[in-house]
Each structure stands twice: as structure tokens, then as C-alpha cells.
Structure 1
Amino acid sequence: MSDGFLSQEEIDALLRGEPVAASPSPAGQDLSDIEKDALGEIGNISMGTAATTLSVLLGRRVSITTPKVSITSLNEIKRQYPLPYLVIEVGYTQGLLGTNILAVREQDALIIADLMMGGDGTNPPTELNELYMSAVSESMNQMMGSTATSISTMFKKKVDIAPPKVNLLDFAVDPNIDSIVSGDDSLVRVSFRMEVEDLIDSELMQILPINVAREMVENLLNAVQAPTAAAVAPKAAPKPTAEPQPAYAAAQPAPQPKPQSVQNVAVQPVQFAALKPAGMPGVDANIGLIMDVPLQITVELGRTRKLIRDILELTPGSVVELDKLAGEPVDVLVNGKLIAKGEVVVIDENFGVRITDIITPLERASHLQ
């Protein structure tokens, strides 16, 4: 297939550990159809995760679908899209080598920035000033971080990225998008349709150098084929368990089986013991292995939620109202997880917390996100 997805036959062949023959590349094309389909599959899964992250940040339904993979060049992109774009450069620091670029239309970035600042997106600003650029950069940073996590799961190894670099470029004027791409060099463009409710219905572009695209495809195929390597390996022939018999043994008559008498056997209904909750064996024996692991303990007086504009208006003397009343027990968190409640005490002019209640395992489970 060439619509950005692996065909069912190709997926079945990969799961069986069989090599998939790459289709011959047309003239002037640097990636086979199989490689394009694999890149579309990577983009489809990773951008699905990015859409979920952006949806949480904006508080709106976000959909990023329909990846289309093509071979192009920087000059061709500039001819097709002579508009200002927000360009996000993402460099890989672990698991992959190289850099890829995400391009979002300036108008779409303005709507995202307005939503990040607490607006409704219907009356976005006319330009990306420093404040709005910071807001939209944070959203792109969160999106690409979730994309790296998704790719790590697909490739079955850790993939990490450097903090993305965000710039506003006019494709009709600026000579280069980035130092890694220039002129008529072949590039891979993965285009997505991005929708944010009734505010955005646009195209999102991912631009990759050929070598980075090929490395992604190789990692995906290796991750898919790795679990099936043992299944397709030939089994060793069983060793003989007895010495070979002499040739004359075949002439001897085979012993006849002796008739066995059939006895009546009493059959009773099966009975099972009553089920009882069992503990977790081995936990106490192994807990000593992690006794020296440091944990971060935090005492939380309360929480609140404010818009970015409210936070920017904070000055010395401002009062931030929390969601707890004075005198209520404070929460004790270990590595961000609630484990106990307590009351604030003063010991030798220092603050402390007296534990008043330990959270039960059932209560801890109810607080998990």
C-alpha cells in the first residue's frame, strides 16, 4: 500500500519473521513503498499520542490523522507553501541520530497560543509576540516529548530528545528552514491533517532527512521481527536415548501384550477448597534490595488552578487561595503519590508534620491518575 499504512499481508509477514521484499523505487525516488508505509505507521501512532497531549493542554478535542509520506525538497516545499510557518526543530539525543522538523502554520499557532493563554481561540492575536511564542513553544515541547515516548515504545528502546527549538519563518522569503536541510536535497515529508474542534482544520508537516527516515524504518522493523526470532529458529534434532539394536533383532518375534483385567473404580465428584485471598510472596524478602533508594517527600498545603494571565499578574503581597480550609490536614506525598495526612507542628522554630493518618492501599489506588 502507499497511503501511509502497512498492508495486512505485510504486517502478517513481519509478525511471522519473514523478510518483506521492498518494492522497486521509481526513478528519482529514494525510499521504497515499504519504507514509506513504515514511516506512515510511525507517524500515525506517534502523532496520535501528540494529539492527546495537545488536547489536554488546550482543553479541546484535537485530532491529528491521515499521514501522507512523500519525497520532496526544501525548494519544492517553499514553492508549495509560501506562508509563514512555526518551525520546531527536534534533535534526538538517545536512540536515534539526527534531527527532524515539525512545521505548523502561523495562523494555527496563533490559535493554539490564544487557547494556552485562556482565550477561546475565536479572536487570536495578530502576531506571535514573545509571550505568545513562549506559550505555543511549551505546547510543542509537550507534544514532542510525548512523541518521543511513543517512539520508544514502538522501537523497544529508549529514545530521547533535546529541548525543541522554535522559530517563526516565512517560507516565501527565508532561504533555509534549518541548517540540516537546504536546496534540492531529497527530504521526506509526512503530512498530517490537524483538527482542533471548529477552530483549526489544517495541515501539519513533519520533515525528515533521508538518513533519519531510514534509521526509523530500520528500528521499527527490528522491533517487530525481534520477538519472532526464536519462533522461526529450527529445533535441534533429539538425541537418541538408547544404543542402536543389532540387525538380527528385527528377525525376532515382537512380544505380545499381556491382557489386563479391568477393575471397577469408584468415581466421586471433585471438591475444591474454598478460595482465600493470598498474600504477595517474596515482597518482604526482596524489599531489602531497595531500602537505600532515596525518595522525595512533599507536604502539600493545597492546590489551585489559574490561567497564565493570572499568574503573570502576581506581585509581592498577592494572596493565592488554595482549595483547602485553614486547619484541615495537610497531604504527605512520596514521589508525588499521596501516602498520609498530617498536621503542621513547630519544633525549635522549624516546621514539621505530625502524621495523623496513613492512606490505605485502596485509597491510594483511588488517587492514581
Structure 2
Amino acid sequence: MNDDFISQEEIDALLKGGIDNNDSASADTSSNSDVAERLSDIERDALGEIGNISMGSAATTLSVLLGHRVSITTPQVSIDTLASIKDHYPMPYLIVEVGYTHGIEGNNILAIQAQDALIIADLMMGGEGTAPPEELNELHMSAVGEAMNQMMGAVSTSLSTMFNKKIDISPPKVNLIDLAKEDKVTDLVGSEEKVVRVSFRMEVEGLIDSEIMQILPIDISKDMVSNLMSGSMEESAPEPAVTAPPVMQQPVQAPQEAYAAPPQQQPAAQQQTYATVPMQQQARVASNIPVQPAQFSPLSTEPVTVNDANIGLILDVPLQVTVELGRTKKRIRDILELANGSIIELDKLAGEPVDILVNGKLLAKGEVVVIDENFGVRITDIVSPMERAQNLQ
């Protein structure tokens, strides 16, 4: 009969699939505890809030640069390694390394997919973003690097506001890394070193719907959280209550009765009132001081006599006179294509009067003449005071 029963050990073995998982379970527990020690739930939430605010500012800056609406969604914070990131994202990425030079010590990495970087570069150079180039050349890398520089500048400004101290960054270092082929991503952290990965969803008005990543070392992440907590505590800390010294304080009474008799001659009941008086009560006593409104002499409406001789005081003040032949607007792509021999077409016709500016303000119009071997300008028209006033507005 005993052979028909199954022992408890056999039941446990069947439930576990016949495999002893004690070693694996203990390893998982150890790994989870290691992760928990490195980054707590409060620190995760704080890093998410930091990323949410800072990347919101970066999205606004990128919108201005690209001329399209940019939205960056709420971040997701996780612990990872560069080796694991390479396995999950085996594709070309633009790795932007940014160093903190003041306020925070260390570096962080911003990773953008190469295809998204091509669209950003095309928009930066005046394109529509619908037909980006097939690969990133040096010119495109420079354009994207400038966009990342502006974005991280906005991030540092947001961090300065959150941490209540100045945060500066170094110019970004941009590299194109194929995570599927390259063994080394960056020199800042090792491939097996634990890092904080903050993932954002970035959308650019029908052109980009992708994911960008901010990779932070553990120590910098904890430093940011510490700065955020200390900054919020400084803002919310109440001012300590200030009390007057208990020894030299006199009883609260009318000023004319305060010195009626020396303290040793006053009744015992009155001597018991020598207690500390808070500053609020002192302020109420001080409010008995007579106060009257300030009085000013009436403003005279008579005209002020102006001495024309005072013009001599500014006769030796230098002014900058500029003759403007014409103006034009060019895109960054057109400016980069300029070379020796290039011709720039201006917005004025041949023979049309040129503008004469004094300290940047239009004063007159004239025609270009040649005196000996030098250019000159013959004034043909003085701008009326009404036109100058309109230009000032």
C-alpha cells in the first residue's frame, strides 16, 4: 500500500519539472537584489521626472531648429549594460557623448538611430525630410552635431533650474556606430558595466516616429537624484522661528510705562511676565510708531528750456556710417556650397539707390560713384523724420 503513495519529495520534483532550480533561483534573487541596491524605485521615478522635464525643453529647441513640431514622450528608466543594448538594437546608431563640466561631474550618452539622424540632417540643411540622403557624410554629421549641441544646451538649462545651481556641458562628440558589427560603443563605460538607460519616444510631425536613448552611468544618475532632492528640500524648507533673548526682554506694555520703576521694585506678578516674546508680537508693538505718507512737490508742467549749444557735448561721439548695397536670404545648404567665384544675387536692381545707414538706422539714399580709385556715395535723398520714426517702430 505504501508503494501507491507519492512522497512529498516526489511531488516537489514533479512540480519543478524534475529539475533542481535552487541554484538558478538563488542567482536570480542575488541579481534582483543587486539591481535594487543600485537604483531604488524613488530614484527611478526621480530620473524619469528629470528626463521628462529636460527632454521637454530639448524637444522645444529641436522644433525651432527643424521647423517641425517635435514631441518626446514620457521616459522609461531601466538598468542595462551596453552589451545588452547592442543585442537588443543591432542597427546603426549615432552616439553623442556629452560631458558635464560644471555642477555635475561625468558624462552621458545620447543614442539616435542613424535613419532618424539622416532626416534631422536633411531638415537642418533646408530639405523637406521626405527624401533624406542614404548615408551620413561629414557635412551631415556636423549638422546633426549642432542640433544635438542645442538640445543638450536646453537640457543643461533645465537641469540648472531643477538643481538650483549652474550646469555646464562640453561640446558633444558625435560618432556613427553600427551596434550589430562594432565591438566597442564608447570609452566612457565598459560593455558589461551597469548603466541607466532612459528611453524616450520621439516624433517629428509625420517624419520620425522612433526611440532615442539616454545612457547614464550609475554614479551620475545618483548624483542627479541627490541634486534634485536637495534642491527641492531647499525650496520647501520653512524659515526657522526666531525668538528674542529671554534675559533682556522687558514686559509688553505701553512705552511710557515701560521704565516707570526699576525691575527690582516692580510687583512679583508683573515680574513673572518676563518671558520670550516672539517676533510677530514685537512687530505688533512696533506698529504703534506713527507713520505718515510720503509727500512730493507737484510736477511742473512748464516747458523746459533747451539750450541748442548743448549739441557741442556730443560732437566728438563717433558714429558708424554703412552703405548697404543690398540683402538676400540663403539656406544653410546654399551657404555651405559657396566657394571662390560664387555669385550672390541681391534684392536690388542695377542702378537703384543704395541705403546709407548711421549706427544701423536708415538715414539717406544715394548713388555709387568713383573718386580717383576709391568708391564713394553721392547722397540723393534724405529720409524724412516720419519715415525714420516708422523704421524705429
TM-score over 0.5 for the pair:
yes
Cα displacement (A) at 1:121: 1.3
Tell me what 1:315 maps to.
339
Q: Say whether residues 1:27 and 2:33 are aligned partners.
A: yes
Q: Give the gaps of 5 or more residues in structure 1.
A: 1-24, 252-272, 277-296, 334-339
Distance in 1, matches of 2:362 and 2:77, equals 54
* Match 2:210 to one of 198, 202, 214: 202
- C-alpha contact (below 8 Å) 2:65/2:147 kept by paired residues: yes
Q: Say whether residues 1:79 and 2:87 are aligned partners.
A: yes
Cα displacement (A) at 1:176: 2.2
Cα displacement (A) at 1:204: 0.7
Tell me what 1:305 maps to.
329
* Match 2:52 to one of 44, 54, 60: 44
Q: Say whether residues 1:137 and 2:145 are aligned partners.
A: yes
Figure out how many residues of one structure are paired with residues of the other and give that number.
291
Distance in 1, matches of 2:109 and 2:195, equals 11
Counterparts in 2 of 1:244 and 1:79: CA distance versus 1, 3 Å = farther
Amino acid at match of 2:110: L
Q: Say whether residues 1:332 and 2:332 are aligned partners.
A: no
Distance in 1, matches of 2:362 and 2:167, equals 38
Counterparts in 2 of 1:363 and 1:190: CA distance versus 1, 3 Å = farther
Distance in 1, matches of 2:190 and 2:232, equals 33
SS of equivalent residue, structure 2 residue 108: strand
* Match 2:189 to one of 170, 174, 181: 181
SS of equivalent residue, structure 2 residue 65: helix
Structure 1 runs, 4 residues or longer, greater than 6 Å off? 243-248, 297-300, 349-352, 359-364
- Compute the TM-score of the two structures, normalised by the length of structure 2: 0.63
Cα displacement (A) at 1:164: 0.4
CA deviations over 1:299-345 (Å, ceiling 9, x no partner): 69475431233113323343434567753343736xxxxxx555699
Cα displacement (A) at 1:110: 1.0
Tell me what 1:241 maps to.
250
CA deviations over 1:131-163 (Å, ceiling 9, x no partner): 222222221122112222222222222211111
Tell me what 1:227 maps to.
235
- C-alpha contact (below 8 Å) 2:323/2:356 kept by paired residues: no
Counterparts in 2 of 1:95 and 1:184: CA distance versus 1, 3 Å = same
Q: CA-atom RMSD, angstroms?
A: 3.8
Structure of higher CA gyration radius: 2
Larger deviation: 79-88 or 148-157?
A: 148-157
Distance in 2, matches of 1:216 and 1:184, equals 22
SS of equivalent residue, structure 1 residue 206: strand
- C-alpha contact (below 8 Å) 1:93/1:162 kept by paired residues: yes
Cα displacement (A) at 1:42: 1.4
Distance in 1, matches of 2:41 and 2:323, equals 55
- C-alpha contact (below 8 Å) 1:54/1:139 kept by paired residues: yes
Amino acid at match of 2:333: R
* Match 1:60 to one of 62, 65, 68: 68
Amino acid at match of 1:314: L
Distance in 2, matches of 1:111 and 1:119, equals 9
User: Which structure is higher in helix share?
Assistant: 2
SS of equivalent residue, structure 2 residue 98: strand
SS of equivalent residue, structure 1 residue 27: helix
Distance in 2, matches of 1:363 and 1:204, equals 46
Q: Say whether residues 1:214 and 2:222 are aligned partners.
A: yes
Amino acid at match of 1:308: I
Distance in 2, matches of 1:360 and 1:154, equals 45
* Match 2:132 to one of 80, 103, 124: 124
Distance in 1, matches of 2:53 and 2:124, equals 24
SS of equivalent residue, structure 2 residue 33: coil
SS of equivalent residue, structure 2 residue 101: strand
Distance in 2, matches of 1:48 and 1:360, equals 42
Distance in 2, matches of 1:186 and 1:226, equals 31
- C-alpha contact (below 8 Å) 1:169/1:177 kept by paired residues: yes
Q: Say whether residues 1:152 and 2:160 are aligned partners.
A: yes
SS of equivalent residue, structure 1 residue 69: strand
Distance in 2, matches of 1:235 and 1:351, equals 75
- C-alpha contact (below 8 Å) 2:48/2:75 kept by paired residues: yes
Amino acid at match of 2:196: V
Distance in 1, matches of 2:389 and 2:176, equals 50
